[in-house]
Amino acid sequence: MCTLTLLREPDRLLLTMNRDERWTRSAERPPVLHPGQGGRRAWLAPADGERGGTWIGADEDGVAACLLNAYAPGDLDLIGRPDVPSRGEIVPAVLGRGRAGVLRFLSRELDPRPYPSFVLVVATPDEGRILRWTLDRGLELEEVAEGWSLITSSWWRADEVVAWRRQRFAAWLADGAPFSGPLPAFNLVDEPGAREHSPFMTRGFSGTRSLTRVAVEPGRRRAALLYWARPGRAAIDPDRPTAALELAAATG
């Protein structure tokens, strides 16, 4: 239950993620800077208030990563079990390794089999990978194309919701991909009569809990993270993020 818009260009990488969760899940922790140590680089990320992992972040080598839940038969039997590791530990394991280390980790070290289904996106302005792990289909890998991409998921009426969002995304692109402040306007779509389908989602038991935008700009040698915690079930003000962090990126 999340939505990611991704723009990859030679001079910019932009990831904007709506994190959808149960209303009863613990409040998120605002993003912090994790200093580099033990040969790892510094990185930025918010954190899950319940299990401590994260869903999105960026490091000082200009690598950004985010993870969305995926859904396949058998997943509901794994979620919440104490013997099943949290998917939130994957992004922290990716960030801070340096570009060569990230590729090695993805190809040789990351074992998705203990986890419920997920989609992992790891990208820089130069390249990117999308790893899709589902219990019924196994591991699939694809490249992140230049330009705009949409990745979204929903366990409720999955095909219907994903198709609805893809149609609205195509319309947003046809309209010139407008922004609302620093956010792609698509991520803020909260359509009356279709709030359960919208990217900025509201349902009885769950909804969008936060938005996070990661920008890597090699020309300005920086990685920046903006974070908006949603106030209950209300809208957010794109021009007033809850937190803004930045670190020097060893890119360019």
Q: Is the pLDDT of residue 53 over 80?
A: yes
Q: Is the pLDDT of residue 242 over 70?
A: yes
d(CA 3, CA 48): 17
Q: What percent of the chain has pLDDT over 90?
A: 83
Q: What is the pLDDT of residues 158-196, one digit of tens each?
A: 999 999 999 999 999 999 999 999 999 999 999 999 999
Where do the domains of the chain lie, and which CATH numbers do they carry? Answer: 2-154+208-248 (3.60.60.10)
Residue 183 · residue 213 · CB < 8 Å: yes
Q: What is the pLDDT of residues 80-133, one digit of tens each?
A: 788 999 999 999 999 999 888 998 999 899 999 999 999 999 999 999 999 999
Instruction: Name, in order, each residue with C-beta under 8 angstroms of 83's C-beta and a sequence gap of 6 or more.
Output: none
Residue type, 14: L
* Token code pair at residue 79: 């979620």
Instruction: Give, for 68, the enclosing helix (H) or strand (E).
Output: strand 64-69
| Rounded (5°) CA angle 36-37-41 | 35
Mean pLDDT of the chain: 94
Q: Is the pLDDT of residue 251 over 60?
A: no
Please report the pLDDT score of residue 250 as a whole number: 65
Q: By 3-state DSSP, what share of the chain in percent is helix, strand and coil, each rounded to 5? A: 20, 40, 40
- Band (21; pLDDT cuts 50, 70, 90): very high
Please report the pLDDT score of residue 157 as a whole number: 93
Decide which of 30 and 251 is more confident.
Answer: 30
pTM: predicted TM-score of the whole model, two decimal places: 0.95
Pick the closest to residue 202 from 191, 215, 218, 211 (CA basis): 191
Please report the pLDDT score of residue 8 as a whole number: 96
d(CA 87, CA 79): 10
- Band (220; pLDDT cuts 50, 70, 90): low
Please report the pLDDT score of residue 217 as a whole number: 87
Environment class of 65 (CB within 10 Å of its CB; exposed 0-12, middle 13-18, buried 19+): buried
Instruction: Name, in order, each residue with C-beta under 8 angstroms of 120's C-beta and a sequence gap of 6 or more.
Output: 65, 66, 67, 90, 91, 94, 130, 131, 133
